[in-house]
Structure 1
Amino acid sequence: MRSERPVALVTGVGRRAGIGAAIAERLSADGWLVACTHWQAYDARMPWGPDPVQVGDFSVEADLADPSAAAWVFDRVAASLGEATALVLAHCESVDSGFLDTSLESFDRHFAVNTRANWLLMREFAMRFAGPHGAGRIVALTSDAVVHNVPYGASKGALDRLIVAAATELGPRGITANAVNPGPTDTGWIDGPLSTTLRTRTPLGRLGTPLDCANLVSFLCGPDGAWVTGQLLTSNGGFS
């Protein structure tokens, strides 16, 4: 599988309807060799259920709540495709609960998956990066949802701060780091009444699609995005 094509690692590519799958397909179309991670046990316990997809050039199942997963995943990618020069963090734990009914176990798992795993993946990527200076890319998917979704929103807020730190500290290594907030995106979780409400609140009058997010990630990972770093970019049709 090795070639002169650059290698991108996209996490959270477990569902055909998901944002991760759209990103992987778009980067493949852009000419990247794409490695993906997925964790079917998460989708199996969520209301939408499993929707397996095979995209990219290499895929591995990994529970990113395991602190040892980051190094193991990068080892597998390097052995199969080569060292990655782009890292797209599209995985998440997202189980709705509020201030008073969030369990300790749920809170800890959200931070393990959405915050700690992202730090470990970014750290592993930076330590291994040996591409041309300025060619390294980190893009994380974030969210400003937090009301009645406290552990998810809090863990994403911490991820935002990690991105700001990564942009500054990893810049000298030739790596950019940005976060994308795609807003409400139609990946199968939006029912009829909620769809109507969200469309009404969105100036452009429609729901976001996975491809909307994938297009922005494509730009940030490509050469035209080389001067953009340390940014928390909201791309949601004016919803916010």
Structure 2
Amino acid sequence: MPEAVLKGRVALVTGVSRRKGIGFAIAQRLATLGADVFIHSFSPYDADRSWGADPDGIPALIATLQEYGTRIAHAEGNFLDPAVPHQIVNAAVEAFGHIDILVANHTYSTLENLEELTATAIDTHLQVNVRGTLLLTQAFAAQHHQSSGGRVVLLTSGQHLNPMPSELAYVASKGAVQQLTLSLSAHLSPRGITVNTVNPGATDTGWADDKLYEFIRAANPQGRWGQPEDAARLIGWLATDDAQWITGQTLNSTGGGY
């Protein structure tokens, strides 16, 4: 068990709906480091995808996280509603008094190439991934009154390293999140808040078919896919005092590959 270096701190992690997901691994890692964790989910999103929702539902996630002995709370919310980011932050503050760490892990993703793009697809990606992230960060910063220890970690994809022509709306939204990193960091650094973005690379959360899985496994220098815990360990470290001098960065946790 890692040392409880985050004891007394509170984290809000969005997009925590499945035990196989990156969001759950992040929440789990922060809990093992001693943080109280407020998790956000939007289960209908997963239920509509090929991988499906967690078979045992959100109560199973909460029960597992509670095994680490820290306080856990939860709220559902669809970031297509512009009021929801502030509502989620307010719910976390009501539950725990304050938030020290925000991990904006939520995402909306569909496959469309240029010929298939629709205005609705573009707008939905931008509203959930970009607007949702910005409003979460705004609400987080508004309640952060400490002079140090604030952490914002955003999640991007590999669009800045490799072409993703079948995911153009997703690429546009995640590219925007990445480009916000340095400017948000400059604005929030004087208030003791660091802002970094993590690209977790191709991560095995059950979304790839067998052909794609083998292609990416063979292409990775380490001969494997990333696991949710790989990104979670990095994000857990970024939340600690050891990372207080790291801000405005995009960190690629990809095993040297995609």
Q: Shorter-normalised TM-score: what interval? A: over 0.9
Residue 21 (structure 2) aligned to one of 3, 18, 23: 18
Task: Tell me, yes or no, if structure 1 residue 203 matches structure 2 residue 206.
Answer: no
Instruction: Measure the CA separation in 2 of the matches of 1:106 and 1:38.
Output: 21
Return 5+ residue gaps in structure 2 as ranges.
1-6, 66-71
Partner of 2:123: 108
Aligned partner of 2:37 among 34, 37, 40: 34
Task: Provide the secondary structure at the position in 1 that maps to 2:151.
Answer: strand
1:135 corresponds to which of 149, 163, 167: 149
Q: Deviations over 1:102-123 (max 9, x none)?
A: 1111110000011000000001
Cα displacement string for residues 75-102 of structure 1 (whole angstroms, at most 9, x for unaligned residues)? 1111111210100011000111111101
Match of 2:74 in 1: 59
* Residue in structure 1 matched with residue 68 of structure 2 by the alignment: none
Map of 2:95 onto structure 1: 80
Q: CA deviation at 1:227?
A: 0.6
Cα distance in structure 2, aligned partners of 1:25 and 1:155: 27
Deviation readout 1:186-214 (Å, 9 max, x if unpaired)? 00012222111111110011000000000
Cα separation, 2, equivalents of 1:41 and 1:192? 25
2:176 is the counterpart of 1:158: yes
Please point out which of 228, 233, 236 is paired with 2:251.
Answer: 233
Moved segments of 4+, more than 3 Å: none
Q: Following the alignment from structure 2 to structure 1, what is the Cα–Cα distance between the partners of residues 93 and 148?
A: 20
- Separation in 1 of the partners of 2:114 and 2:98? 41
Offset, 1:144: 2.1
Deviates more, 1:49-58 or 1:220-229: 49-58
Task: Please give the TM-score of this superposition, normalised by the length of structure 2.
Answer: 0.89
Across the aligned residues of Structure 1 and Structure 2, the Cα RMSD in angstroms comes to 1.1
Deviation of 1:70 (Å)? 1.5
Within-5 A mapping of 1:142-221: 142-145=156-159, 146-221=164-239
Q: Which amino acid aligns with 1:88?
A: V
Match of 1:95 in 2: 110
CA distance in 1, matches of 2:186, 2:257: 29
Q: In 2, distance between residues paired with 1:63 and 1:152?
A: 17
Amino acid at match of 1:13: V
The percentage of aligned residue pairs carrying the same residue is 39
Length-normalised TM-score, structure 1: 0.95
How many Å separate the matches in 2 of 1:216 and 1:147? 28
Per-residue Cα deviation, 1:23-47 (whole angstroms, up to 9, x for no partner): 0000000000000100011111111
Q: What's 1:222 paired with?
A: 240
Give the partner amino acid of 2:41. Answer: H
Question: Matched residue of 2:207: which SS?
Answer: coil
Following superposition, the deviation at residue 124 of structure 1 comes to 0.8
SS at match of 1:178: strand
Between the two proteins, the alignment pairs up a number of residues equal to 236
Residue 16 of structure 1 and its aligned partner are, at CA, apart by 1.2
1:5 counterpart = 2:20: no
